[in-house]
Structure 1
Amino acid sequence: MFDSANAREQLVELANTRIHFGKYQGRYLIELPEPYLVWFKQKGFPPGKLGEQLQQILEIKMNGLEQLIYPLIKR
């Protein structure tokens, strides 16, 4: 069964997750350039939750849905 409260929590978490390594360290995942995410897709996403989140962000960007994520960021 679809749990909309859980889905919202996951989206809020996704919106507020930052990358903790590399050239873009400290940036929100949604702020990562699409070519960087495509590179990960080609080379292999990191294992675990971060890899799953990077895949989700790539799908969001490829479908032009970034504007749905920005309002969820807690700055």
Structure 2
Amino acid sequence: MGACYHAGKYTVEGLSDALRLELKRFGIDVVLIEPGSIQTDWGAIAAGKLRAASSPGPYGEQADASATSLE
């Protein structure tokens, strides 16, 4: 349900780690900034979309549990 989203975020982290090692000898620092949580309506919005997209199918129970934790 969130694999593509999380894979995309990890891609940036993995690329940053690789570039950090490759570019160190040139004196180039690679820094990845990952901000922490902030209070927004994102959780409720995501929960609603998750339920709408997944509830009628085989992932319904898992989607509902994930949506509840997002809320």
Do they superpose with TM above 0.5? no
Higher relative contact order (CA 8 A, sep 6+): 1
Bigger Rg, which one: 2
TM-score, length-normalised on structure 1? 0.30
More helix by share: 2
TM-score by length of 2: 0.31
